[in-house]
């Protein structure tokens, strides 16, 4: 009797797991037609109607919107979440009011946990460090410091010599 109950329980669990695997996107919110979906650290071009003079972003920590000539905007994902932007003409009339949904990275991201410390790696095709929101402070700050030193060295800035240690 116990074996039969256990078998039924296992079958039900397997069916539920199979159903969940068959619909992986069921738990993810699909952007509505008026929503601009962009990945964090990525940009998307969007054409706006009319003569836009001013752009207002609800939360600039989530997304940045930059107006370009010809009615184009560049939407850049800064942090996870949703915000909105409003486009106004010179008279202050609202031309566009749309949502922006910023999602996680779309590349092959590997997350490594060392206790409570988190590190992210982009594995396309080889795994390399990738700074991602939510990484541990030490990992994040170390990677950003190295990137800053490299950038400064490449541009011939004053920080180029800071990386060299005296003997």
Tell me how many domains the chain contains: 2
Per-residue model confidence (pLDDT) at position 2 = 63
Has residue 6 been placed in a domain? no
Per-residue model confidence (pLDDT) at position 5 = 62
Has residue 24 been placed in a domain? no
Q: Give the predicted TM-score (pTM) of the model.
A: 0.60
Per-residue model confidence (pLDDT) at position 27 = 39
Residues 52 and 94 both lie in one domain? yes
Residues 72 and 123 both lie in one domain? no
Per-residue model confidence (pLDDT) at position 18 = 47
- My answer on whether omega of the bond before 33 falls inside 30° of 0, hence cis, is no
Instruction: Tell me the pLDDT tens digit for each residue of 6-25.
Output: 566 546 444 444 444 444 44
Percent of the chain scoring above 70 in pLDDT: 74
Per-residue model confidence (pLDDT) at position 29 = 43
Has residue 144 been placed in a domain? yes
142: nearest Cα among 153, 159, 130, 152: 130
* C-alpha–C-alpha distance, residues 123 and 100, integer Å: 27
Give the HSE-up count for residue 74: Cα atoms under 13 Å, Cβ half-sphere: 8
Instruction: Tell me the pLDDT tens digit for each residue of 140-158.
Output: 898 888 888 888 888 775 5
Residues 67 and 81 both lie in one domain? yes
Residues 43 and 94 both lie in one domain? yes
Has residue 99 been placed in a domain? yes
Q: Is 149 left (phi over 0), alpha (psi -120 to 50) or beta?
A: alpha
Mean pLDDT per 10-residue interval, the chain, length 167 residues: 60 48 42 80 90 94 93 93 95 94 84 93 86 88 87 70 49
Residue 41, CA distances (Å) to 79, 80, 98, 103, 106 in order: 8, 10, 20, 10, 10
Has residue 130 been placed in a domain? yes
Residues 93 and 125 both lie in one domain? no
């Amino acid at each position: 009797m116990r074996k039969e109950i256990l078998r039924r329980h296992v079958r039900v669990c397997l069916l539920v797991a199979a159903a969940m695997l068959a619909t992986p996107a069921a738990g993810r919110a699909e952007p509505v037609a008026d929503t601009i979906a962009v990945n964090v650290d990525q940009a998307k071009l969007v054409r706006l109607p009319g003569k836009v003079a001013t752009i207002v972003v609800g939360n600039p920590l989530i997304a940045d919107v930059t107006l370009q000539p010809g009615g184009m905007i560049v939407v850049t994902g800064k942090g996870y979440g949703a915000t909105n932007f409003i486009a106004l003409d010179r008279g202050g009339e609202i031309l566009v009011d749309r949502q922006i949904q910023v999602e996680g990275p779309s590349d092959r991201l590997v997350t490594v946990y060392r206790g409570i410390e988190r590190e992210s790696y982009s594995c396309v095709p080889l795994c390399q460090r990738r700074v991602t929101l939510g990484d541990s402070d030490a990992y994040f700050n170390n990677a950003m410091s190295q990137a800053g030193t490299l950038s400064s060295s490449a541009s011939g800035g004053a920080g180029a010599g800071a990386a060299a240690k005296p003997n």
